A and B are shown apart, each in its own frame.
Chain A
Amino acid sequence: MNDMNPSGWRPGMGNAGDGAPASPTFTGNRGLQLEEALIFELGRMGGCGVDFDEEAPEPMATLGQHLRAAPVALPGLSEPEAVRHYTRLSRQNYAIDLGIFPLGSCTMKHNPRLDERVARMPGFADVHPLQPQETVRGALDVINQLAFWLVELTGMHGVAMTPKAGAHGELCGLLCIRAAHEAKGDAREVVLVPESAHGTNPATAAFAGYRVESIPGTADGRVDVTAFEARLGPDVAAVMITNPNTCGLFERDLRRIADAVHAAGAYVYCDGANFNAIVGKVRPGDLGVDAMHINLHKTFSTPHGGGGPGSGPVVLSEALSPFGPLPFTAKTADGMVHLVEEEDAQTMGHAQAFGRMAAFHGQMGMFTRALAYILSHGADGLRQVAEDAVLNANYVLRSLEDVLDAPFAASGPCMHEALFSDHGLAEGFSTLDVAKGLIDEGFHPMTVYFPLVVHGAMLVEPTETESKAGLDQFVGALRSLAERARSGDEALKTAPCLAPRRRLDETLAARKPRLAWKDEAG
């Protein structure tokens, strides 16, 4: 274990040495911690940081009534001002490039820079989605090659590449299921969702027109097979199950559930958010899954970008493949994978497609990155990814279970994430305090208060791209915080003290929403 803090100084004690509070500065900056104004305060109307080759003549007379009276009221910054503005802002962000980002269920792993270079190749970055197909053969090859890998890695039959993100993929999968039932003239109304599910699952099912019923879990953190089986019936269209689940455990009985679901005429939707734990180790198709979205921005390392863009292709079983949206990619008799669009849907045996979910072909910029990532790892590397991700998570679990309550530690090894609860923290101390303390230690906190089935949940997903030394440092920090929260160290309640901001008033933000900048005068 690294000795991280030999001086014994802690946040909340003030400056090291004299114990006095930091004196305010004229600028509000603190050395390299820089404050930054809004562009509306920095820039001036009429300013511009782009040069044009020539001035345009007056617009055509027939546009007269449509012309705007004045330019859009937005300030412009010169290039040096703009570069400085965004660079200074960037320094107020935590990021994977700075350290472990252990958000459970989010799979924040290293983003290889090769993938960025590849995505910017002109044949990918600078092609229009409606160019004649003869001029974009290489781009279609990328989609087909990625589709092939996704199908092989999951043991499924086809894949819909268009969904824009995981939740969009969930919708795609449920719409396939709905279309499949409707094709049989079988109107079903209910989707069963375990209570530990991601919030997107019930939201998606409701959006797709289903009534959601929640199924409780068992004491060991898994779905209750008996409860599922008991609820199955002619009104149930599908079950949505996350595997590995949000407690970080593998659903051992998924195959049995799937058999029962199929026997009842329903389908199994698997939330693939946690696929990183099992890629190359087991194929969801072998577990009876009918549809599963794959978050390319999780398992296949396309960058999260501060909240997107995501990409959520959906792999489908043979039963559901005919209903996938257009454009669609599927294996044909010759073993090849083909892209099917509206024009050839009939001739390509895809007449039952449920329709189109979005303009164009999907998140191409994410496909190129994901394909470069997959080719880099290969079949052997991806298997190692899952093994190292699971190894790292179990290492965190076993290194901390003596100071943090691990409610399912007795259920066996965890998969890619380790789950703790707030049980054992001193009266008045919460998960939030531990999380905010991590910020002062220079780490991004884990996922907190999710899954809902555990009180004060802390869900740690280190991913495979953390070194042992890095994990030891993180574990050391979390151990120290756990001990402080158990012993009731009041200083912890003021954390973070060292971040660009202290705790923010979220109640004020919601009560009086200020969602756009307004000139004080106006």
Chain B
Amino acid sequence: MRYLPLSDADRVDMLAVIGAGHVDELFADVPADVRLAGPIAGLPLHASEMAVERHMAKLSAKNMSAGSAPFFLGAGAYRHHVPASVDHLIQRGEFLTAYTPYQPEIAQGTLQVLFEFQTQVARLLGTDIANASMYDGSTACWEAIAMAGRITRRDAVLLSSGLHPHYAQTALTMAKFTGDKVNHTAPALSAKPDDAALIAAIGDDTSCVVVQYPDILGRIPDLAAIAEAAHARGALLVAVVTEPVALGLVESPGALGADIVVGEGQALGVGLQFGGPYLGLFGCREKFVRQMPGRLCGETVDAEGKRGFVLTLSTREQHIRREKATSNICTNAGLCALAFSIHMTLLGGEGLSRMARLSHARSRETAERLGKIAGVAILNTSWVNEFTAVLPVDARPVVRALADKGVLGGVSLGRLYPGEGALGRGLLVATSECTTREDIEALGSTLEEVLA
């Protein structure tokens, strides 16, 4: 077997050193009645690299890949062009096959990357500090809610209706077990988010208000006003960004007064990957650092006074604090953080702005084209690179019909909100710098066909 270096002769020699006659003696502690006598019946035996590759290639070919079709899906996962150097660099074995940097003297590569990543994320989100990443945006969102509870010692959580429904469901699931009181309703199909209603719902027991920016329908809430209202009642504002590229165009949530900003970093460097692994971004005010979840990398010096980096403030974490830890999280999304950081390093702030502007321009062209179709209305009055189109019919079968004709035309709100009839005609349409004018025309003309 190609992944196993021991030869039969090695095994015999090693058993002799151990003083065992047969490898089964090493498994003597496994009760005999449950010990398996041989390979589990009914499962295939080992296969060559070629055979496995062929098997997997067949499965891959059964999927319609985003790059093979005009593609307009978003709703929390975005397709941007990732430079070739990103994938090359993350496959360097020194990054790919390293562990968590617990021995900093021989992990400065990973640690310096994390320090740079934390700085990039903090500046992007507009926060004082950021951690070394979380699993993904949805789990980072829940961790932010839990952290707000620790800070405010309150347990009522107000989720804006524009929060991604998967994020809301994740929070509702966790709250069932922690006892937090989480309030969430589905959004209405209105041109602008109802910030006033959200503000009115903030109470003296509100721990935090959680607001997605831009929201699930592509609309842009007035974070500054919500922050002011939340702070006036002693609550925190948690801002959620599912499309970090949008922050190349619009003001960062931290600058608008958000206390904790979390996000999904997948759009930069990571790719779609059918939903994971993704990258949770987590930033906050410096004064909250000891309540933060997840790993933190900090600067220090070595015994010769040279600058170096270490994981720090680990007294918050499970391996030290056990049941008193701020979170049970153990891993971060290391390699995804590296991919994000390399992509961001290539872009710089300037490149991010250009990417956001181009994605935005394509989005306006798409909205203009769709707006010409009889019965189709564009919901939003302003957006970055994702908007909601309202169709004359239920969007779910339309999306399937578009796919049958080779167009991946967006995400139907019916898929995201099963049972919410009023949203059924909504179609989320996202674009990026990858979107071409041919793609836009293909979506327009195919949608006309399907609706006709």
A39 vs B338: C-alpha distance in the bound complex, in angstroms?
A: 13
Q: In the complex, how many angstroms separate the beta carbon of A165 from the nearest chain B beta carbon?
A: 4
Q: In the complex, how many angstroms separate the beta carbon of A263 from the nearest chain B beta carbon?
A: 19
Is A184 part of the binding interface, using a Cβ–Cβ cutoff of 8 Å? no
Q: Are A384 and B4 in contact (CB under 8 A)?
A: yes
Chain B CB within 10 Å — which of A38, A53, A132, A436 has the most? A132
Decide yes or no: A306 and B95 within 8 Å by CB, A76-B345, A152-B40, A398-B18 being known contacts.
yes
Chain-A contact segment, one of B193-201, B229-237, B294-302, B442-450 = B294-302
Q: Are A304 and B1 in contact (CB under 8 A)?
A: no
Q: Are B65 and A122 in contact (CB under 8 A)?
A: yes
Q: Are A106 and B17 in contact (CB under 8 A)?
A: no
Chain B residues positioned under 8 Å from A297 (CB to CB): 331
Q: Are A93 and B106 in contact (CB under 8 A)?
A: yes
Chain A residues positioned under 8 Å from B320 (CB to CB): 199
A39 vs B302: C-alpha distance in the bound complex, in angstroms?
A: 21
Chain B residues positioned under 8 Å from A59 (CB to CB): 249, 357, 360-361
Q: Which of A47, A198, A395 contacts B350 (CB 8 A)?
A: A47
Is B452 part of the binding interface, using a Cβ–Cβ cutoff of 8 Å? no
Is A272 part of the binding interface, using a Cβ–Cβ cutoff of 8 Å? no
Chain B, Cβ-Cβ closest to A222: B29
Is B190 part of the binding interface, using a Cβ–Cβ cutoff of 8 Å? no
A71 vs B248: C-alpha distance in the bound complex, in angstroms?
A: 7
- Considering the complex, which residues of chain A in the window 14-43 have a beta carbon less than 8 Å from any beta carbon of chain B? 28, 36, 38-40, 43
Is B96 part of the binding interface, using a Cβ–Cβ cutoff of 8 Å? yes
Decide yes or no: A126 and B272 within 8 Å by CB, A249-B29, A378-B45 being known contacts.
yes
Q: Which of A178, A464, A502 contacts B105 (CB 8 A)?
A: A502
Task: Enumerate 22 A-B pairs (CB-CB under 8 Å) in ascending A order.
Answer: A47-B350, A50-B351, A63-B360, A70-B349, A71-B348, A89-B113, A129-B272, A149-B43, A304-B99, A307-B110, A307-B132, A308-B100, A356-B166, A360-B166, A360-B278, A363-B276, A381-B3, A501-B306, A502-B105, A504-B105, A504-B309, A515-B289
Q: Are B166 and A359 in contact (CB under 8 A)?
A: yes
Is A48 part of the binding interface, using a Cβ–Cβ cutoff of 8 Å? yes
Q: In the complex, how many angstroms separate the beta carbon of A120 from the nearest chain B beta carbon?
A: 8
- Considering the complex, which residues of chain A in the window 377-405 have a beta carbon less than 8 Å from any beta carbon of chain B? 377-385, 387-388, 390-392, 394-395, 397-399
Q: In the complex, how many angstroms separate the beta carbon of A383 from the nearest chain B beta carbon?
A: 6
- Considering the complex, which residues of chain A in the window 141-200 have a beta carbon less than 8 Å from any beta carbon of chain B? 141-142, 145, 149, 152-153, 164-168, 170-171, 175, 178, 198-200
Q: Which of B36, B250, B300 contacts A281 (CB 8 A)?
A: B36
Per-residue CB contact flags for chain A residues 57-81 toward chain B (1 = under 8 Å, else 0) read: 1011011001111111111110100
Is A218 part of the binding interface, using a Cβ–Cβ cutoff of 8 Å? no
Is B308 part of the binding interface, using a Cβ–Cβ cutoff of 8 Å? yes
- Considering the complex, which residues of chain B in the window 412-432 have a beta carbon less than 8 Å from any beta carbon of chain A? 415-416, 418
Q: Are B298 and A92 in contact (CB under 8 A)?
A: no
Q: In the complex, how many angstroms separate the beta carbon of A309 from the nearest chain B beta carbon?
A: 3
Q: Are A466 and B5 in contact (CB under 8 A)?
A: yes
- Considering the complex, which residues of chain A in the window 250-298 have a beta carbon less than 8 Å from any beta carbon of chain B? 250, 252, 255, 278, 280-283, 286-287, 297
Q: Are B17 and A395 in contact (CB under 8 A)?
A: yes
Chain A residues positioned under 8 Å from B309 (CB to CB): 504
User: Given known contacts A92-B109, A106-B99, what 6 new A-B pairs fall within 8 Å (CB)?
Assistant: A55-B354, A56-B354, A123-B59, A129-B272, A136-B274, A379-B43
A82 vs B269: C-alpha distance in the bound complex, in angstroms?
A: 14
Chain-B contact segment, one of A2-10, A368-376, A423-431, A479-487 = A368-376
Q: Are A305 and B56 in contact (CB under 8 A)?
A: no
Is A226 part of the binding interface, using a Cβ–Cβ cutoff of 8 Å? no
Q: Which of A85, A281, A310, A359 contacts B275 (CB 8 A)?
A: A359
A311 vs B250: C-alpha distance in the bound complex, in angstroms?
A: 34
Q: Are B94 and A95 in contact (CB under 8 A)?
A: yes
Q: Are A135 and B105 in contact (CB under 8 A)?
A: no
A390 vs B26: C-alpha distance in the bound complex, in angstroms?
A: 7
Q: Are A114 and B53 in contact (CB under 8 A)?
A: yes
Chain B residues positioned under 8 Å from A43 (CB to CB): 345, 348
Q: Which of B14, B49, B264, B300 contacts A395 (CB 8 A)?
A: B14
Q: Are B44 and A379 in contact (CB under 8 A)?
A: yes
Chain A residues positioned under 8 Å from B337 (CB to CB): 308
Chain A residues positioned under 8 Å from B188 (CB to CB): none
Q: Are A134 and B173 in contact (CB under 8 A)?
A: no
Chain A residues positioned under 8 Å from B57 (CB to CB): 121
Q: Are B73 and A83 in contact (CB under 8 A)?
A: no
Total contacting residues, chain B, CB less than 8 A: 204
Q: In the complex, how many angstroms separate the beta carbon of B154 from the nearest chain A beta carbon?
A: 17
A383 vs B109: C-alpha distance in the bound complex, in angstroms?
A: 36
Q: Which of B20, B334, B354, B411 contacts A52 (CB 8 A)?
A: B354
Decide yes or no: A306 and B135 within 8 Å by CB, A203-B327, A391-B14, A394-B20 being known contacts.
no
Is A444 part of the binding interface, using a Cβ–Cβ cutoff of 8 Å? yes
Is B374 part of the binding interface, using a Cβ–Cβ cutoff of 8 Å? no
Q: In the complex, how many angstroms separate the beta carbon of A456 from the nearest chain B beta carbon?
A: 16
Q: Are B63 and A123 in contact (CB under 8 A)?
A: yes
Q: In the complex, how many angstroms separate the beta carbon of B158 from the nearest chain A beta carbon?
A: 19
Q: Are B408 and A131 in contact (CB under 8 A)?
A: yes
Per-residue CB contact flags for chain A residues 423-448 toward chain B (1 = under 8 Å, else 0) read: 00000000000011001000011000
Q: Are B108 and A500 in contact (CB under 8 A)?
A: yes
Q: Are A93 and B29 in contact (CB under 8 A)?
A: no
Chain A CB within 10 Å — which of B2, B20, B23, B58 has the most? B23
A387 vs B10: C-alpha distance in the bound complex, in angstroms?
A: 13
Q: In the complex, how many angstroms separate the beta carbon of A346 from the nearest chain B beta carbon?
A: 11
Decide yes or no: A49 and B18 within 8 Å by CB, A125-B271, A132-B400 being known contacts.
no
Chain A residues positioned under 8 Å from B115 (CB to CB): 38, 515-517
Is B371 part of the binding interface, using a Cβ–Cβ cutoff of 8 Å? no
Chain B residues positioned under 8 Å from A145 (CB to CB): 59
A48 vs B109: C-alpha distance in the bound complex, in angstroms?
A: 23
Q: Are A121 and B60 in contact (CB under 8 A)?
A: yes
A110 vs B133: C-alpha distance in the bound complex, in angstroms?
A: 25
A357 vs B415: C-alpha distance in the bound complex, in angstroms?
A: 18
Is A328 part of the binding interface, using a Cβ–Cβ cutoff of 8 Å? no
Chain B CB within 10 Å — which of A40, A118, A376 has the most? A376
Q: Are B319 and A199 in contact (CB under 8 A)?
A: yes
Q: Are A62 and B289 in contact (CB under 8 A)?
A: no
